[in-house]
Structure 1
Amino acid sequence: MIEVKSSLKGFKTTLYKLETILKPLGFSIGGNWEYDHGYFDYPLSKEGSYVYVRIPFTAIEGELDRPGVVVELGTPFILGHQYQAGVDEEATVGTVTASFNQFQQPTDPDTEIPNEFEKEGRVIIQRVEQAIQEN
């Protein structure tokens, strides 16, 4: 995991507004959210290991499953996971389930991140900073 210093840390807005800014840039809310916190994920690689730009957010007014919730962003980071090959090869599953199965244990939950993905991740974070400033 590589934390990236960013002006995003401490930014506050509604989750709805944040989604309208981040989804067009290719981010989605990760499936591991709770009622008080979650992550926006941007996939950099899904071959061999999964590498994501991840932007954490915390609910500061309301709960994430309620309209109008206000969130605060944390420090973005670049995260890599190496998953087990061949887990449940005989099962027929959908693309979403196959791409990130919450029950599959990573063989390396904090795999090394190649330089090209670190550079690309930093560029993506800069794009988010710019998009937020423009909105």
Structure 2
Amino acid sequence: MKFEHIELADKEIRFETLHYEAEKLGFVHAEQWDYERVMFDMKIHNNQEIYYLRVPAYAIKGDIPKDETIVKVMTPILGKYYYPHGVEYAGEDFPEAVVNRSNTKLQQLKEALDKK
């Protein structure tokens, strides 16, 4: 599921700022990056099921994970985790509680980044 209505996509910002604001809201950076791309994940548990809210970005000036690197945020996505296969994004029926939590967290991230 894509969250295009939050209007985070195409926002250009320093990696340091995105990293700080995303982790402050509960997103995890972990090891999901290379020098050009990065992913911030939030794991959501709902009735014995696991979902991942993901905020991807890519470097447009500099290399990740340098603080001064400028990244461009891509459209956030929500996927359902299936063991042992991984995360599926399409063809899923996401629970309202998970979608609402995702909308809230993404709106909070957008508002925090808009202030920078």
Q: So what's the TM-score if we normalise by structure 1?
A: 0.72
2: CA distance between counterparts of 1:34 and 1:46? 30
C-alpha displacement of 1:112: 4.0
Match of 1:129 in 2: 110
Structure 1: segments with no counterpart, 5+ residues: 85-104
Larger Cα Rg: Structure 1 or Structure 2? 1
Q: Indicate the RMSD between aligned Cα atoms, in angstroms.
A: 2.1
Structure 2: segments with no counterpart, 5+ residues: none
1:25-81 alpha-carbon deviations (Å, 9 max, x no partner): 111115332221121112222763321211110010111143421100001111111
2: CA distance between counterparts of 1:60 and 1:118? 30
Moved more, 41-50 or 65-74: 41-50
Percent identical among aligned pairs is 19
2: CA distance between counterparts of 1:116 and 1:47? 10
Count of residues paired in the alignment: 113
Q: Is the 8 A contact 2:16 2:66 kept in 1?
A: no
Q: 1:32 to 1:23 in 2, by over 3 A?
A: closer
